[in-house]
Amino acid sequence: MRINFYNNSNENIWKYQRLIKRLFKPINRKDSFNLIFVTEEEIQEINRTYRNIDKVTDVISFAQIDEENRTDYRSLGDIFICVKRAFDQAKEYNHSSDREFAFLAVHGYLHLCGFDHMTKEDEEVMFKIQDDILLKAGINR
């Protein structure tokens, strides 16, 4: 798994890059994706432009290609994480910022892989996989 990191925020996010690399290391796939750390203004603009929702959110994923067009080695797409929102949610949920950044990265990744949580059944499947990945990396609430 290859992750291309980009930092469009003013925050030092090296710690979270290392954490996310470690988190995805056991996932033995020939995939890559871009993870872009952004400001509240940038994620709100993305949300407004592509989802018609004019508000700040924590994570947005855009899949690169559809399942039927995939090849052996592929780029899955882009994950945008709002840095300030991640810090705020860590405080709100009373867990570490490490856990919040890891959660958002895994959540975004699973969306790139085609998982969703629009129905209760889909949510249960997605959240079980999410929890398994986080637990295997030793990231607890």
Residues 92-107 pLDDT 10s:
999 999 999 999 999 9
Q: Does residue 63 fall inside a structural domain?
A: yes
Dist. CA 65–CA 50, nearest whole Å: 16
Q: Which domain holds residue 52?
A: 2-136
Residues 39-76 pLDDT 10s:
999 999 999 999 999 999 999 999 986 555 555 557 89
Strand 31-38 and strand 2-7: the pairing is parallel
The CATH number of residue 89's host domain is 3.40.390.30
Question: For position 27, what pLDDT does the model report?
Answer: 87
**Choice among 14-23, 89-98, 132-141 with the minimum mean pLDDT:** 132-141
State how many domains the chain has.
1
Q: Does residue 141 fall inside a structural domain?
A: no
Question: For position 31, what pLDDT does the model report?
Answer: 87
pTM: 0.91
Q: Does residue 39 fall inside a structural domain?
A: yes
Give start and end residues of each alpha helix (H) in the chain. 14-24, 40-51, 83-92, 97-112, 120-136
